[in-house]
Structure 1
Amino acid sequence: MIGAWRHAALRRRMLRVARGDRRTLRKLSRRHPGLEIHPEASSALAVARFQLGEGASLRIGAGVVTERTPDALRFLLEPGARVEIGPGTWLRTDLGPV
């Protein structure tokens, strides 16, 4: 049953990482007024970089997913910009930075 033990340990670790990512996303939303991330969006967004100009708005919908690759996904919004990532969008970073 070593395989089952390893599987359970990996699952616990992944859940811990996801909980930490959710905390990071909440902090990012507080730090960046105008950043709205749906609770059902991927917790992997926590490793993305967010830079929102004054008055900018970024809404990320339910089911938005991306890979958990640090610095591969960056959001740079000029002051007053309005961007919405629709539900179910895959921000694919495995082919290159987005």
Structure 2
Amino acid sequence: MNHLPPTPRGRRRPPGPADGLRAHSDALRSHAERLRSVAADLGRRGSYADPLHAEVTLLAERCAVAAGGLTLAAAQLDAPRRSRRSRRPAGPALRRKDP
């Protein structure tokens, strides 16, 4: 008797590290958008809100840059790995010479 729940058949494989990076990237992009909208509201409140506006704008930019980095890392994880043979230098001195 098996006490485990049945495996869903529509799912091909469990989510990998690249999927997690993409999820975090999406969350950071969402935070950046919300921070930008807050910064726009702060800009309308007068000069007393200028320092806070600058900090929120900077934080939004940092979130967007981090999201881009995570997206790039996910793409690199998804890229097919090159074989060892293709990484070796293939200069004239390293080529095999047939006898």
TM-score between the two structures when normalised by the length of structure 2: 0.36
Greater C-alpha radius of gyration: 2
The higher-RCO structure (CA 8 Å, 6+ apart) is: 2
Bigger helix fraction? 2
